[in-house]
A and B are shown apart, each in its own frame.
Chain A
Amino acid sequence: MSMRHIISVLMENESGALSRVAGLFSARGYNIESLTVAPTEDGSLSRMTLVTQGSEEIVEQITKQLNKLVDVVKLADISDGTHIERELMLIKLRAQGDSARSEIKRMVDIFRARVIDVSDDTFTVELTGSGDKLDAFIKAVDTGFIMETVRSGATGISRGSKSLQV
């Protein structure tokens, strides 16, 4: 059965490390739903969050193949246990006239989003949450309002005292 998995990877923060992961996925035909990466508190390490779909066998192979990459220090499939997942979305909305502006403002309140930039005819909104929540927000606002969306892809962390560290 194909399931969604969130794989967290700690890897050497070196040029080319990201392309090794991306290359692995394309070469072996695994799908990537999203991928985010940034350095950790230790500048020599990057933390990557990879969301993929696959049967148990495929995800097992994905984690083994990732582990085999020499730049990968450690990884965990955080969807194996309880975890928190967050994604950031910035969305620019056309906001002309009082009714549109108050309509958007209401939506922002309902979703506990924030308006982070305002111009005469636009609002830029920041929203954090699970992918589902971001989808729901997009669905809730009139498509005519949407000028641009940018999503970070999911990041995640396991609950409790479990931690992925060197």
Chain B
Amino acid sequence: MQLSGGEILIQFLKDEGVEFVFGYPGGAVLHIYDALFRQEDVKHILVRHEQGATHAADGYARATGKPGVVLVTSGPGATNAVTGIATAHLDSIPMVVITGQVSTPLIGSDAFQEVDAIGITRPCVKHNFLVKDVKDLATTLKKAFYVATTGRPGPVVVDIPKDVTDPGIKIEYEYPQTVAMRSYHPTVKGHPGQVKKAAELILSARRPMIYSGGGVVLSRASAELTDFVRQLGYPITSTLMGLGAYPSTDQKFLGMLGMHGTYEANMGMHECDVLIAVGARFDDRVTGDTRKFCPNARIIHIDIDPSSISKNIRVDIPIVGDIKDVLNDITAAFKELKQKPDSEALASWWKQLERWRSKQCLKYDRNSDLIKPQYVIEKLYEVTKGEAFVTSDVGQHQMFAAQFYPFDKPNRWINSGGLGTMGFGLPAAIGVQLGHPGADVACVTGEASIQMCIQELSTALQYRTPVKVVNLNNRYMGMVRQWQEFFYDSRYSQSYMDTLPDFIKLAESYGHVGMRIEKPADVEAALREAFAMKDRTVFMDFITDRTENVYPMIVAGKGHNEMHLAPECLMDNPDDRELA
């Protein structure tokens, strides 16, 4: 088949099974957009800002497990995409971002809309490619998808100069079925010796703790993890990124750990004697002060990325490999060992964990006249029967969603955990909805975050993605305000959101339904009404308590056993005051 570069790109995407391309046209990609126009298999989603394209592709990838694909022009198109690329990079999301580039003879001449996209994106991609010859286009694209989706996934940028897509130059195209890269071979299979050592240590634990992360979701190892936990009867906690990989409503699940984790999860971490880290990377928001981290534990760490191992915390038994394979191997190794877990020790460990759980660390004031953000999330959970895909932006609302919406399935909780990108939620929700057309999709956000990519409300109308925006409006950048209250003597420097738009009118002007909810009694009815509108995007503006804080909290320099607890919690347990 004789095709031009632009046609090769589109034909390749079709052959690769790509359903959606999220993008925005411009000069350097016009040949590609022309090729896109002349076919119907690959659907283009026109966003309103390139950042939105990357987040939407990212949300699609997180919810479906398929790589997200982005197409933007050179210069500002590429730079606008950088925030979204970095977001995907820190959360290891498979994404292929195609950036247009000025024609090869112009590269380096400061041409119109020229930036060094390869140089700018280098530190925030898994890998990037500059295609200088149309003959290399198909094989390079194949490599890009291969690198993005295998091993520890991540975003890959392919920078394509305009002359490479010239419609006047046609070459023979054939879809490259295979890919050969001598320098890239991710380790999938765990080392058998390490697996055996890990199995022995796991079975000898008296106070075990399983700490799972986003790697479990990425490896689609939810079923394996669930089996693993159930056969052992061990307690499990999860990072923000791992929520849903193990059913949150299960009794073995202790809730999220870390800075805003539960009392039982964090205390369990501090007191455990064997820690089994599965697809988690010991992020600073999880560990607190690393010198105080799990002081009594021997640590097993399963991760596909060797560089994650012993990066922040020294571990005793590292296993490099795919979570799914390694968990299966460990389970198989259990069968060969005569040892059984010490049921007596485990029973007394569970007794202790239940004592910590009984503190009910997520308690909040339920008698308030003001809408509590936690209450909105609880009702959202009820109304959607726990089945919704929930995206979030970044801040207090993100933590409330993580704490109060117990996810029972993976790929349902979509948030920017690593980079913490405000503006992520709405475009991500659009991407999620495109991947799951019939599903309930909620974007939990705040009045500050939502305004960072608010323009995508227009995209939501164009593609009829009926996402439900749950705006927890406290007129503050809530998390900034909380830190200022705790650590800056309540000097609320620039964290008050003055002159907010009327979100109802705003939603309506974008062609959507707007609602304002001001009383706790109206919360549930509003949510029911919104989710009953199956074909409409609804913007719910919940006017919430302005000064609610996220608890528990581990502040900088503190260990897992040094949490700040909510006032409601302390009132019931005066003995615990010293903890605060």
The listed residue (A11, A16, A27) touching B118 by CB distance below 8 A is A16
| Cα separation A71 to B311 with both chains bound (whole Å) | 22
Known contacts being A12-B183, A70-B183, A71-B183, is A19 close to B119, with CB within 8 Å? yes
Contact present for A70 and B181 (CB under 8 Å): yes
Residues 72 to 94 of chain A near chain B (Cβ within 8 Å)? 72-73
Contact present for A72 and B122 (CB under 8 Å): no
Contact present for A60 and B181 (CB under 8 Å): no
| Cα separation A27 to B310 with both chains bound (whole Å) | 19
Residues 150 to 194 of chain B near chain A (Cβ within 8 Å)? 181-184
Contact present for B122 and A19 (CB under 8 Å): yes
**Which residues of A lie under 8 Å from residue B118 when comparing CB positions?**
16
Nearest Cβ distance between residue A24 and chain B, in whole angstroms? 8
Q: Does B123 contact A (CB under 8 A)?
A: yes
Known contacts being A19-B119, A70-B147, is A61 close to B184, with CB within 8 Å? no
Counting residue pairs across A and B whose Cβ atoms lie within 8 Å, the total is 38
Q: Does B526 contact A (CB under 8 A)?
A: no
The listed residue (B147, B181, B307, B314) touching A64 by CB distance below 8 A is B307
Contact present for A70 and B182 (CB under 8 Å): no
Q: Does A68 contact B (CB under 8 A)?
A: yes
Q: Which of B130, B183, B307: most chain A CB closer than 10 A?
A: B183
The listed residue (B181, B306, B310) touching A67 by CB distance below 8 A is B306
How would residues 5 to 25 of chain A score, 1 for a CB under 8 Å from any chain B CB and 0 otherwise?
Answer: 000000110011001100100
The listed residue (A57, A65, A72) touching B307 by CB distance below 8 A is A65
**Closest chain A residue to B182, Cβ basis:** A73
Known contacts being A23-B122, A27-B123, A61-B311, is A68 close to B306, with CB within 8 Å? yes
How would residues 299 to 322 of chain B score, 1 for a CB under 8 Å from any chain A CB and 0 otherwise?
Answer: 000000111011100100000000
The listed residue (A23, A60, A72) touching B123 by CB distance below 8 A is A23
**Closest chain B residue to A15, Cβ basis:** B130
Q: Does B127 contact A (CB under 8 A)?
A: yes
**Which residues of B lie under 8 Å from residue A166 when comparing CB positions?**
182
| Cα separation A73 to B182 with both chains bound (whole Å) | 7
| Cα separation A68 to B313 with both chains bound (whole Å) | 19
Nearest Cβ distance between residue A46 and chain B, in whole angstroms? 11
Residues 117 to 137 of chain B near chain A (Cβ within 8 Å)? 118-119, 122-123, 126-127, 130
The listed residue (B126, B306, B309) touching A70 by CB distance below 8 A is B126
Q: Number of A interface residues, CB 8 Å?
A: 20
**Closest chain B residue to A66, Cβ basis:** B307
**Which residues of B lie under 8 Å from residue A57 when comparing CB positions?**
310, 314
Nearest Cβ distance between residue B125 and chain A, in whole angstroms? 10
| Cα separation A23 to B121 with both chains bound (whole Å) | 11
| Cα separation A27 to B119 with both chains bound (whole Å) | 13
Contact present for A64 and B183 (CB under 8 Å): no
Known contacts being A16-B118, A70-B127, is A11 close to B306, with CB within 8 Å? no
**Which residues of A lie under 8 Å from residue B307 when comparing CB positions?**
61, 64-65, 67-68
Contact present for B183 and A11 (CB under 8 Å): yes
The listed residue (A20, A23, A65, A70) touching B184 by CB distance below 8 A is A70
| Cα separation A62 to B3 with both chains bound (whole Å) | 44
| Cα separation A20 to B118 with both chains bound (whole Å) | 10
Q: Which of A12, A61, A70, A73: most chain B CB closer than 10 A?
A: A70
**Closest chain B residue to A12, Cβ basis:** B183
The listed residue (A11, A15, A20, A61) touching B122 by CB distance below 8 A is A20
**Which residues of A lie under 8 Å from residue B310 when comparing CB positions?**
57, 60
Nearest Cβ distance between residue B307 and chain A, in whole angstroms? 4
| Cα separation A19 to B123 with both chains bound (whole Å) | 10
Known contacts being A57-B310, A70-B183, A73-B182, is A16 close to B130, with CB within 8 Å? yes
| Cα separation A71 to B127 with both chains bound (whole Å) | 9
**Which residues of B lie under 8 Å from residue A73 when comparing CB positions?**
182-183
How would residues 387 to 427 of chain B score, 1 for a CB under 8 Å from any chain A CB and 0 otherwise?
Answer: 00000000000000000000000000000000000000000
| Cα separation A136 to B126 with both chains bound (whole Å) | 44
| Cα separation A19 to B183 with both chains bound (whole Å) | 17
| Cα separation A60 to B311 with both chains bound (whole Å) | 9
**Which residues of B lie under 8 Å from residue A15 when comparing CB positions?**
130
| Cα separation A27 to B125 with both chains bound (whole Å) | 13
**Which residues of B lie under 8 Å from residue A20 when comparing CB positions?**
122
**Which residues of B lie under 8 Å from residue A71 when comparing CB positions?**
127, 183
Nearest Cβ distance between residue A100 and chain B, in whole angstroms? 46
**Which residues of A lie under 8 Å from residue B181 when comparing CB positions?**
70
**Which residues of A lie under 8 Å from residue B126 when comparing CB positions?**
70
| Cα separation A71 to B156 with both chains bound (whole Å) | 13
**Which residues of A lie under 8 Å from residue B123 when comparing CB positions?**
23, 27
Nearest Cβ distance between residue A52 and chain B, in whole angstroms? 16
| Cα separation A96 to B127 with both chains bound (whole Å) | 55
**Closest chain A residue to B124, Cβ basis:** A27
**Which residues of B lie under 8 Å from residue A68 when comparing CB positions?**
305-307
Contact present for B130 and A64 (CB under 8 Å): no
**Which residues of B lie under 8 Å from residue A11 when comparing CB positions?**
183
Nearest Cβ distance between residue A69 and chain B, in whole angstroms? 8
Nearest Cβ distance between residue A64 and chain B, in whole angstroms? 4
| Cα separation A11 to B184 with both chains bound (whole Å) | 11
**Which residues of A lie under 8 Å from residue B306 when comparing CB positions?**
64, 67-68
**Which residues of A lie under 8 Å from residue B311 when comparing CB positions?**
61
**Closest chain B residue to A71, Cβ basis:** B183
| Cα separation A60 to B305 with both chains bound (whole Å) | 14
| Cα separation A73 to B184 with both chains bound (whole Å) | 7
**Closest chain A residue to B306, Cβ basis:** A64
Nearest Cβ distance between residue A91 and chain B, in whole angstroms? 35
Nearest Cβ distance between residue B539 and chain A, in whole angstroms? 39
Q: Which of B122, B305, B314: most chain A CB closer than 10 A?
A: B122
**Which residues of A lie under 8 Å from residue B127 when comparing CB positions?**
70-71
| Cα separation A15 to B314 with both chains bound (whole Å) | 36
**Which residues of B lie under 8 Å from residue A72 when comparing CB positions?**
183
Given pairs A15-B130, A71-B183, 8 additional interface contacts (CB within 8 A): A12-B183, A16-B118, A19-B122, A27-B123, A65-B307, A68-B307, A71-B127, A72-B183
Give me 19 A-to-B residue pairs in the complex whose CB atoms sit less than 8 angstroms apart, sorted by A's number.
A12-B183, A16-B118, A16-B130, A19-B119, A19-B122, A23-B122, A23-B123, A27-B123, A57-B310, A60-B310, A61-B307, A64-B309, A65-B307, A67-B307, A68-B306, A70-B127, A71-B127, A73-B182, A166-B182
A residues in contact (CB < 8 Å) with B? 11-12, 15-16, 19-20, 23, 27, 57, 60-61, 64-65, 67-68, 70-73, 166
Q: Top 5 nearest A-B pairs by Cβ distance? A: A64-B307, A70-B127, A73-B183, A27-B123, A64-B306
